[in-house]
Amino acid sequence: MVKEVTTLWPSVYLIKIMTIAKGLKQLGFTPEVDFVCQDDGDGKGAYIREWLSKSAQPSDSEITTAANTFDTNYTNNKYQRDRAESYSSIQDQLDQLYWDKKNGTNKWVEAIDKVKSDNPKP
């Protein structure tokens, strides 16, 4: 049982650090350029170890709100990620466009339409 708890601890720390990082990224800051996060494992949680940006450091509330916005945007744009995985490579699409033009076919448009209909906008 103790073994299970210790294996979970790094994950919990990582989630807390990721929440801070997501919020700061949403606010336009870059990890390792504008800030460095850390969790010492002492039960006090993740924190910004070093603020490197010339801009003022946002409050915890601003960071949390921005992290929530990041998560909402990520969830709402799932269809975009699904479409990106479904599209053929650009090289294949260009080849398909070439052969469509050459043969008077419309296979590229049909393939794109299928990806869009299989992964509709919400």
55-97 tens-digit pLDDT: 999 999 999 999 999 999 999 999 999 999 999 999 999 999 9
Supply the range of the domain harboring residue 82: 78-122
Write down the pTM of the prediction: 0.64
- Average pLDDT, stretch 21-41? 94
Do 3 and 59 fall into the same domain?
A: yes
Do 72 and 109 fall into the same domain?
A: no
Do 94 and 121 fall into the same domain?
A: yes
pLDDT of residue 2: 37
DSSP H or E run through 26:
helix 2-26
Do 58 and 9 fall into the same domain?
A: yes
Q: Is 31 helix (H, G, I), strand (E, B) or coil?
A: strand
- Average pLDDT, stretch 48-61? 95
Q: Structural domain tally of the chain?
A: 2
CA-nearest of 58, 55, 33, 117 to 83 is: 117
